[in-house]
Chains A and B, each alone.
Chain A
Amino acid sequence: ETGVTQTPRHLVMGMTNKKSLKCEQHLGHNAMYWYKQSAKKPLELMFVYSLEERVENNSVPSRFSPECPNSSHLFLHLHTLQPEDSALYLCASSQVSRSTDTQYFGPGTRLTVL
């Protein structure tokens, strides 16, 4: 698990708060991802930064804002969240190539919105 680290591991916030999730990968990869994992739902891809280009899921609300200052760091800025945004937020990284795109996940941030 030390390949991809995430902080904080747990976060409780009110709907009016602003917070940020942080992810760091130590694997030398060139792509990073944010996923949302809710109970009884598949992993939902939110954002991808691949080869310095951002690809996003158009269904993600604007209250989630990603930032990728370099290939090793990824942030998810949160503001004016709703209780239904409570979930496990997973960061992943991969080395994009033609034959494989294995993603390595961090431990996640358990977010609770009150």
Chain B
Amino acid sequence: GENVEQHPSTLSVQEGDSAVIKCTYSDSASNYFPWYKQELGKGPQLIIDIRSNVGEKKDQRIAVTLNKTAKHFSLHITETQPEDSAVYFCAAPPTFGKGTMLLVSP
């Protein structure tokens, strides 16, 4: 089955800095890669996704890149804000990474 590795497990940044979270997957047949944000007491919420026919997708301060050859994809958050603090999950559905706890300090 699919195996998804996510790094780092925790990430602390100062407000305004950029944050990068990386994931690798094992099944070359996977072609859809969503990212979820989970705030305390809530279920994961989709924030951005990418399909295998593109290498990059951007939505305001959030971007995702995909390298199909290397089987890895990354989430980039620019100009981080305290409200970005949450746990972020990558996925190659139905398999999820272990999550990254992002803490943005004012």
Contacts and interface: CB of A to CB of B under 8 A. Distances in A.
B24 to A, nearest CB: 14
Interface residues on B, range: 20 to 34
B14 interface: no
Contacts of B42: 1, 107-108
Interface of B: 4, 31-32, 34, 36, 41-46, 49, 51, 89, 93-99
Contacts, number: 51
B96 A101 contact: no
Interface residues of A, number: 21
A49 interface: no
A102 interface: yes
Contacts of A40: 98
Nearest to A9: B41
